[in-house]
A and B are shown apart, each in its own frame.
Chain A
Amino acid sequence: MATITVDAQDLSEADAFLTAYLAEKVPDADFSQGSVMRDFVITSIAYIFAFLEKEVKTSRSQQSLLTLSTQSDDQSVQDAVNALLSNWFLTRNTGTRARLTATLHFSAAADVAITPTTRFFRTADLAYVPDAPSSFVITALQLTPTYNSNNVVTEYTTTINLIAKDIGTAYNLPAGKFIQADQFSPFFTYAENQSVIGGGKDIESTAELLARAPTAITVRNLVNARSIDTVLREEFANIARTLSIGFGDPEMLRDLANESVTRLRMHVGGFTDIYAQLPLTEVVETGLVGGVFTRPDNVIAVFKDSAANFLGAPAILPGDILRVTTGLPDAPREYIVDTVAATVLTVNVRAAFSEPTDEAGTYVSYTIGNVAPNYSDKRAVTATLLSGGQTSRTIQTPYCITLSGRPHYRIRQVELYKTTSPATIEVLTSRVNNVPAAGQYRVVGLVPANAQSDYAVDQVEIDATHLTTDPWEMRVTYDTLAGYEDVQAFVVDPFERVLASNPLVKGYTPVYLTISVAYRTRIGATTVPDNDAMSKSLATFINTFNLTNALDLTAIQQNVRDTFPDIGVIVSPTILAYNLYAPDGQVYSFSTKDIVTVYPSYPANNAHLTNGTAPAVSVIRTPINNADLDPTLNTTSETLFAAANVELKNQLTSLGLSDRTLIYVTTADDITFTLVS
């Protein structure tokens, strides 16, 4: 309810209006100042008239979003905007709670039970609780020991995801130590967050709500970009933006019918990729290296027969036909072989098996060949109760673990330990694109079209010295999107989903920036800028940068200067490097002297790929000669550079990437400021 305030100006206007009006209606009456008529007829009701007039004006002004957008965001304006937009069933977002990954420190290794109500206080007022629906236990084996220089364990640590008790940006805090926590373990010593706490949002302001409103007048189904944006951002306050990719869009890969045998390659439609920008959070996954994992996309594409040797003569080849004759509901039916290993085949995922018989413990009879109609010229196996072929939705790859189906942003840490001696941990620090050597790991995205989604089939692979016969556990810490599962569950909900579509929520493909800035203070500066504060400030600037504009080095340097005026000279060169974590798991590393882009184009920009050439063995992508990639090198001609970058662009396009499906992110830890004298 608006508060109506009548001031002298309102009274004066009411008096003038009534005087003019009555003087016109009753020309014989004296309404001059000081007259009895004026005082008894006009002045006596002027205040009431002014009040009603003001209320009419206020009500009228609150019937227009255009007018409301120019008014101060007080309660009455908020109420009016809420009321107007509720006509389109649009409501104000209620804000989001900040999330973080906290490291808990313990003095001894013991099982720890944590309830969702356990509070961790960063300040006296700001509390965080475990981001978990129910109580959970961290076993002693999951605690990581910390050793001192004498090889003595000094403490144990683990990480858990926390969420703010309440909504609001006040909970977005820099890295630091928690001051207190509710009692949950006698061995707990303290908690800390080593990266910035983010994702907390206040209740949506009127300006933000009005900015979102234009897309609200639309159908409320998930049928087009406008409606998807409206519905999802209405349902999930933590979504900052969305991008919908559908039939005919160059980034759409999932609807590609790509038959290796017939060479058929066409978009068949029916798929919707919904990119959603969500806050980052850190998760930890542990798996047995070389173990059996369920495919996150639930595709039953594996055919295995432990008694078979598919590589033996006559060898089974991709393109051969696997014919299941009994054991499946739709048998007999043929499948096209995609890949071949000794005892395992995979078939084309677009025409995969209908049931995983390994889960029921049954076997199928099958033939393999390439001569119709029986396709039995290479293999013919009749199933028994204990032998034959089995279909499976599992995946098992030597030296690999398969991550859970969710967006996989930057991997922060990969640790290895033997199941028999979990206290001895080997940390892999180097992510590579080719076959990993000792101390290295690589990520392989088996289904790039499903990358950064619920169906992502991403594996983390280590070097072959870690024999799978001597079981190793791999613990992977990586960034993912907070609240992603809820959004995906919403779009595939039987009630919400579009019946003729296969929707999939994806995270934008991440490009992580690393910046190194050397600077001098200005002459006369009385204080030295705080390097940590500058890193945090610049990280915020980049993470919230409006990506409809090109992010470039000049804008970054200008932001630093504007925010920290005591900076005098930024010493060249400022190093701006960035890694694109591609859907196939490959890392494309770039460096730039101006615009941040993954599409170098000299002389339009001075960005260039820095890791084009990979070793000749087992690379996933086509190597691009490094010498052709930097236009500033004397060895490079513009023609070679252009050709190399066409190849680069083709590679990225074939992975479903474009400028609009990327997101540039960084953290304060990735930004270094150095004061030089």
Chain B
Amino acid sequence: MASYDIHFQEIPAEQQAGASGRVFSFGYTSAVGVKGPQKLVNRWLKCFCTLRGSDLLDPTYGTGFPDLLGSNVSSRQDFVDAMAMFITDCNDKISSFDQAQFPPDDERLDSAVMVSVVASPPDGFDVYVNIKNVAGTTLTVQVPTGSTRP
């Protein structure tokens, strides 16, 4: 039986500076339950944006992506290569959870693929990832790379 997870969403880039640098928000005055493909996206995005080694209970959880935020990457290709590696790491972790817990098809990861990397002046990139569940539904997610920090 599918069960609800708590929903969170990205704070629009232009509002992040006014949100003390936070990237995500619950977004509502009360918690919102979510299931299905969006729940999968949330799980994937949370794992992707968690710095690996920061989870007390599971040091292998997360990726190296948070370290990339605000860093000096001069080559676009380097950035793309790093993102591809982090996406693969995240996929592996979510898949391992899925194999252990076997969630419903629409919440189980089939694939997550980087579909585009667009330069975001003056010094950022917007990254889009297609997340597809086993049921065949695909959602495109913009990875919250954030704006330049003051």
Contact = CB atoms under 8 A, between A and B. Distances in A.
Interface of A: 11-12, 15, 27-30, 32-37, 39-41, 43, 46-47
A40 B6 contact: yes
A34 B39 contact: no
B55 interface: yes
Nearest to A42: B57
The 8 closest A-B pairs by CB, nearest first: A30-B3, A34-B97, A30-B5, A32-B101, A35-B5, A36-B5, A36-B6, A37-B6
Given A12-B57, A15-B57, A33 B97 contact: yes
Interface stretch (B40-48, B65-73, B125-133): B40-48
B33 interface: yes
A29 B101 contact: no
B56 A30 contact: no
Interface string B94-117: 100100110100000000000000
B57 A46 contact: yes
A34 B93 contact: yes
A47 B54 CA distance: 13
Given A29-B4, A30-B3, A35 B43 contact: yes
B5 A37 contact: yes
Contacts of A15: 57
A47 B42 contact: no
Nearest to A35: B5
Contacts of A28: 3-4, 33
Contact of A34 (B7, B33, B56, B61): B61
A35 B94 CA distance: 10
B5 A33 contact: no
Given A29-B5, A30-B4, A36 B57 contact: no
A60 B4 CA distance: 38
Interface of B: 3-8, 33, 35, 39, 42-43, 46-47, 55-58, 61, 93-94, 97, 100-101, 103
A34 B56 CA distance: 13
A175 to B, nearest CB: 61
Contacts of A40: 6
Given A12-B57, A43-B55, A43-B56, A36 B42 contact: yes
Nearest to A50: B56
B53 to A, nearest CB: 14
Main SS at interface, chain B: mixed
A101 to B, nearest CB: 64
A10 to B, nearest CB: 10
26 contacts: A11-B57, A27-B3, A28-B33, A29-B3, A29-B5, A29-B6, A29-B33, A30-B3, A30-B5, A30-B35, A32-B97, A32-B101, A32-B103, A33-B97, A34-B46, A34-B61, A35-B5, A36-B6, A36-B42, A36-B43, A36-B46, A37-B6, A40-B6, A41-B6, A43-B55, A46-B57
Contacts of B55: 39, 43
A30 B58 contact: no
Contacts of A46: 56-57
Contacts of A47: 56
A37 B5 CA distance: 6
Given A37-B5, A37-B6, A43-B57, A30 B46 contact: no
A677 to B, nearest CB: 69
Main SS at interface, chain A: helix
A421 to B, nearest CB: 89
Nearest to A47: B56
Contacts, number: 53
Nearest to B2: A30
Nearest to B35: A30
A28 B56 CA distance: 26
A37 B101 CA distance: 15
A157 B39 CA distance: 96
Most buried by A among B43, B55, B61: B43
B97 to A, nearest CB: 4
Contacts of B46: 34, 36, 39
A41 B61 CA distance: 17
B3 A34 contact: no
B85 to A, nearest CB: 20
Given A27-B3, A30-B5, 18 more contacts: A11-B56, A15-B57, A28-B3, A28-B33, A29-B3, A29-B6, A32-B97, A32-B103, A33-B100, A34-B61, A34-B93, A36-B6, A36-B43, A37-B5, A39-B46, A43-B55, A43-B57, A46-B56
A33 B57 CA distance: 10
Contacts of A41: 6
Contacts of A39: 46, 55
Most buried by B among A29, A34, A35, A36: A34
A30 B39 contact: yes
A404 B55 CA distance: 78
A18 to B, nearest CB: 11
Contacts of A30: 3-5, 35, 39
Contact of B58 (A27, A33, A35, A37): A33
B31 to A, nearest CB: 9
A47 B4 CA distance: 24
Contacts of B5: 29-30, 35-37
Contact of A33 (B3, B4, B7, B101): B101
A502 B130 CA distance: 98
A195 B137 CA distance: 94
A32 B58 CA distance: 13
Contacts of A33: 58, 97, 100-101
Contacts of B43: 34-36
A36 B4 contact: no
A621 to B, nearest CB: 81
Nearest to B45: A36
Nearest to A32: B101
A43 B58 CA distance: 10
Most buried by B among A27, A32, A40, A47: A32
Nearest to B102: A32
Contacts of B61: 34
B118 to A, nearest CB: 27
A49 to B, nearest CB: 12
A511 B47 CA distance: 80
A166 B109 CA distance: 73
A33 B94 CA distance: 9
Contacts of A12: 57
Most buried by B among A12, A35, A40: A35
A22 to B, nearest CB: 12
Nearest to A38: B5
A324 to B, nearest CB: 94
Nearest to B50: A39
Nearest to B7: A36
Contacts of A11: 56-57
A37 to B, nearest CB: 5
Contacts of B100: 33
A35 B39 CA distance: 8
Contacts of B4: 28-30
Contacts of B33: 28-29
Contacts of B94: 34
Nearest to B101: A32
B61 to A, nearest CB: 7
A27 B4 CA distance: 9
Given A12-B57, A43-B56, A36 B3 contact: no
A30 B34 CA distance: 10
